Structure 1
Amino acid sequence: MSGDPRTVVRKFLARPQHEGAGAVVRRSIGRFELKYFDPFLVLDEFSLTAPAGFPDHPHRGFETVTYMLQGSVTHEDFEGHKGTIGAGDLQWMTAGRGIVHSEMPASHGTQKGLQLWINLSSRHKMIEPRYQEIESSDIAEANEDGVNVRVIAGESLGIRSPIYTRTPTMFLDFTLEPGAQIKQPVPESWNVFVYVLEGEGVFGKSRSSSTTAHHLLLLGPGDRLKAWNRSSKTLRFILVGGEPIGQPVVQWGPFVMNTQEEIDQTIQDFENFENGFEKARYWRSEATQDQEF
């Protein structure tokens, strides 16, 4: 590593807001102050308590990464795909040309997790939908000097994730015990951020002020991140980076394309049940049918 360590250039507190059908999210990317951080469209820390959830809704033109922190969520789509992801499990869904699905609580109490939307380049926006799902026990994990890392995507402490990312992406879940520190390499050309889940930590420079839970940190140029846990409690955060796509972004709700004409065509396709949305005409998820919204 011959470059410079990355420093914090912007900092946001993700405040709770309502989304979906009664769900509460802390949105840090995709908000008024930060609409897009190429290639990342949305980052939500979500909280669901039945009957709240995300009933049937469409997507086109990007990928969604759902990483459960507590409880479990059942997802269904109009292709007949159905499953439940629990605490520590991961679903990496490529919406591509079109998907309609639901994400609803699968257990009692409050379900918590993260959902990240990653943009696709113009040549990948209309590919066929696909899923990659990894159970918690199969996520690559390493421990070293008071640092635990779960490698969702990319590489850390000598281990690599099997997840395939069409838009080159790293997604690391770090837990630092009191007194621990890390130095994580990141590609110099990528956009990189940190989101703090619990505890408080120092990021970028050793003399920086501590950052607490629910804060998003955008990192400046450099080839590595340094972080320290100087508190008496455990620090947990995600480090996410991606290769910028550098193409125009036109978004209309759950549709993300490159031009307004493509968005207009997507809306028409969805309303007319064609060009990827054919199966939406008669489909409703079981979870949504069981609830009244």
Structure 2
Amino acid sequence: MIKAVKHINGGINSAVGEYLVNRLIPENDIQAVGPVVFLDHLYPTEVKSDAHTIPDGSFAHPHRGITTFSYVFAGGLSHYDSQGNFNQIGAGGIQWMKAGRGIIHDELPYATTPDRKFHSLQFWINLPSGVKQEAPEYMAVQPADVPEVELPDNSGRLRILLGNFGCTTSVIRTFTPQFIYHLKLNPKSTYRLPVKPGMEYAAFVPSGEVLINEDVIGKSKIAIFEEGGDEIEFRNPDIAVADVIIFGGAPYEEPIVSRGPFVMNTHGEIATAYRDFFDGKYGNIIYKKK
């Protein structure tokens, strides 16, 4: 049985520094999909920096209580943080950071092609209360290290960015049942994704248009699914490969309190997160070239 679409969301434009993004989660009564409490789509944009540029720190900011997950469609992305981590990824790579009890990070988009285009997504994934006070962690996953599987009937490929699909598992650590897949659907092809019972699902189409259970979804829109059903149908009517990001996980059962860059379980914990930041407990970033 097909898993029905409950809600289609076009997002709201928001400025993040000098960049324009489409904020898709949270939205109205949709506070989360599984553990995902935040999704920003940074539209394809021309960037000034290159791989050798060091940021000036003006975009550095703290987090506590979540993991951040940045996925690049085009261009490259540098990561710096107050634990001394630095790395860069290209298109198809992932910057993952467990903020835990507190960290400051800075991400700098840069150009890798003559058109100087950068295009990406960032998720915030909520941590269980018992993990929110753990030490921060960081991992950069290069494009070649993201596992992929071939889909039946030459319909395309599925990149397992987070979680698992069948016997194939992402290298990134998870703390609750959760997944992020990048479906690369071949021209004029159809794929039916089997869904796991008890999990919440959403699908995002960054550009172009795809038929999802016969609903046209595309151009930076997201489809959020009802409970029930055992598969989702994706159909690409176009003559070019279509990209779909499919994500979700087990429902987050604890209270969610979000303020600025912090996601905790109580208002008191939010107040403590801000106090610890202003008291300098998250450290400082030391910028350096790779």
Identity %: 29
Q: Is the 8 A contact 1:199 1:234 kept in 2?
A: no
> Are 1:236 and 2:269 an aligned pair?
no
1:210 match: secondary structure: strand
Question: Deviation at 1:80?
Answer: 1.0
Q: Is the 8 A contact 1:142 1:157 kept in 2?
A: no
Question: Deviation at 1:267?
Answer: 1.0
Question: Deviation at 1:22?
Answer: 0.6
Aligned counterpart, 2:52: none
Q: Is the 8 A contact 2:204 2:245 kept in 1?
A: yes
Question: Deviation at 1:59?
Answer: 0.1
> Are 1:191 and 2:195 an aligned pair?
no
> Are 1:141 and 2:137 an aligned pair?
no
Aligned counterpart, 1:129: 136
1:180 to 160, 184, 189: 189
2:273 match: secondary structure: helix
Question: Deviation at 1:188?
Answer: 1.4
Aligned counterpart, 1:18: 15
Pick closer, same or farther for the CA change 1:158–1:272 going to 2, 3 Å: closer
Pick closer, same or farther for the CA change 1:194–1:18 going to 2, 3 Å: same
What RMSD over aligned residues (CA atoms) do the two structures have, in Å? 2.2
Give me the whole-angstrom Cα distance separating, in 2, the residues matched to 1:259 and 1:117. 18
Q: Is the 8 A contact 1:56 1:284 kept in 2?
A: no
Q: Matches of residues 18-167 of structure 1 in structure 2 within 5 Å?
A: 18-19=15-16, 21-32=17-28, 34-47=30-43, 49-50=47-48, 55-107=59-111, 109-144=116-151, 145-156=154-165, 159-167=168-176
Question: Deviation at 1:266?
Answer: 1.1
Give me the whole-angstrom Cα distance separating, in 1, the residues matched to 2:193 and 2:96. 23
Question: Deviation at 1:30?
Answer: 2.4
Over residues 106-155 of structure 1, what are the superposed CA-to-partner deviations in whole Å (9 max), with x where a residue is unaligned?
33723211111110111111111112221101111122312111111233
Q: Is the 8 A contact 1:54 1:103 kept in 2?
A: no
Give me the whole-angstrom Cα distance separating, in 1, the residues matched to 2:107 and 2:128. 25
Question: Deviation at 1:217?
Answer: 0.3
Give me the whole-angstrom Cα distance separating, in 1, the residues matched to 2:89 and 2:179. 21
What letter matches 2:36 in structure 1? F
What letter matches 1:182 in structure 2? Y
Q: Which segment drifts farther, 230-239 or 46-55?
A: 46-55
Question: Deviation at 1:285?
Answer: 4.2
Give me the whole-angstrom Cα distance separating, in 2, the residues matched to 1:159 and 1:286. 35
- Structure 1: any 5+ residue segments left out of the alignment? 288-293
Give me the whole-angstrom Cα distance separating, in 2, the residues matched to 1:154 and 1:54. 33
Question: Deviation at 1:252?
Answer: 1.0
Over residues 22-80 of structure 1, what are the superposed CA-to-partner deviations in whole Å (9 max), with x where a residue is unaligned?
11111111245634334211111114623699711000001111111111121111111
Aligned counterpart, 1:5: 2
Question: Deviation at 1:94?
Answer: 0.7
Pick closer, same or farther for the CA change 1:250–1:66 going to 2, 3 Å: same
Give me the whole-angstrom Cα distance separating, in 2, the residues matched to 1:54 and 1:255. 19
TM-score of the superposition, structure 1-length normalised?
0.86
Over residues 201-244 of structure 1, what are the superposed CA-to-partner deviations in whole Å (9 max), with x where a residue is unaligned?
2213xxx2322221100011223222112333432101102111
